[in-house]
Amino acid sequence: MSTQITEREEESSAETEAETESPHQRRRMDEKARRAAERDAMRERAEEEVRDAETTVGLKVFRYDPEVEGKKEPRFDQFTVPFHKGMTVLDALMYARDHYDSSLTFRHSCRQAVCGSDALFVNGRQRLGCKTQLADLDWPIRIEPLPHADVVKDLVVDMEHFYDQMEAVEPYFQTNEHPSGELEEQRQTRENREKVKMSTRCIWCSACMSSCNIAAGDNQYLGPAAINMAYRFAMDEREGEDMKQHRLNIIEQEHGVWRCQTQFSCTEVCPKDIPLTEHIQELKREAVKNNLKFW
């Protein structure tokens, strides 16, 4: 008898709580339940696709979230995704996020290796996720954020310092010599265009900066990407000798070109095949010639 009374009291209490819930709370709870059901369905679908796939690939992904209790300690999560020809690291990460864990965080945008947003540390090397084919890697694949940068969450690093170094070399065209005609173009010879062509390919991904041991130990070092930007404009004949002198003054500083020890690590990891070390050495030669005095 007492048990029946207790059950009726609990039912009555639940009904009362339901009645006191606001419409907003009810919608929020319904939406939360809907999202949970969608996640469960996606996970079940992924497990089915993995079972049916001819080949699967394992991912070992770095995880870290300073804002969530229980996730503040860095760890690695493992995901299994179905493999298909032409699949990239970014494709695999997107599959893991969409089917297993929607909180998995990483940057990506154009998916065509021109925005530089998805630079990652894959199997111990800096690479673009959208450009790196799974078929070219050893499995399972270990994916981490770029080294030598503060991790914001999971695979996302703070890029502010990198952007500050890039801005320090004034990476934009400047000239005091304009064409006489209002609609006349600022002309550049074919030879000069060929000289600076490779340096213009930089996509600001920071892979080179991450690979540089000098940048890791010297926070003020401009870094290969920034020095490459200085090269791109210093060697552009359209800016004139006065601006070239100005740019040489920037990169000749204590934490400029002379800090480079020609390790070639930046050149090796550049996703656009820019000869970064070569450009740095050429700027060193220009700086030496600039300081030579004959009298």
pLDDT single digits (tens) 83-132: 999 999 999 999 999 999 999 999 999 999 999 999 999 999 999 999 99
**pLDDT at 9 (0 to 100):** 56
Q: Say what the pTM is.
A: 0.82
Co-location of 118 and 202 in the same domain: no
Average of per-residue pLDDT across 203-226: 96
Give the number of domains in the chain: 2
Co-location of 271 and 222 in the same domain: yes
Residue 74 scores a pLDDT above 80: yes
SS3 assignment, position 76? strand
CA distance 58 to 48: 16
> Does any domain span residue 201?
yes
Co-location of 79 and 170 in the same domain: no
> Does any domain span residue 10?
no
Co-location of 136 and 226 in the same domain: no
Co-location of 58 and 103 in the same domain: yes
Do 253 and 169 form a contact (C-beta atoms < 8 A)?
Answer: no
Residue ranges making up the domain that contains 240 = 159-175+189-291
Co-location of 97 and 202 in the same domain: no
Residue 291 scores a pLDDT above 90: no
> Does any domain span residue 107?
yes
Co-location of 101 and 193 in the same domain: no
Least confident of 53-57, 133-137, 196-200, 265-269: 53-57
> Does any domain span residue 125?
yes
> Does any domain span residue 7?
no
Do 104 and 93 form a contact (C-beta atoms < 8 A)?
Answer: yes
Co-location of 169 and 272 in the same domain: yes
SS3 assignment, position 29? helix
> Does any domain span residue 100?
yes
**pLDDT at 1 (0 to 100):** 47
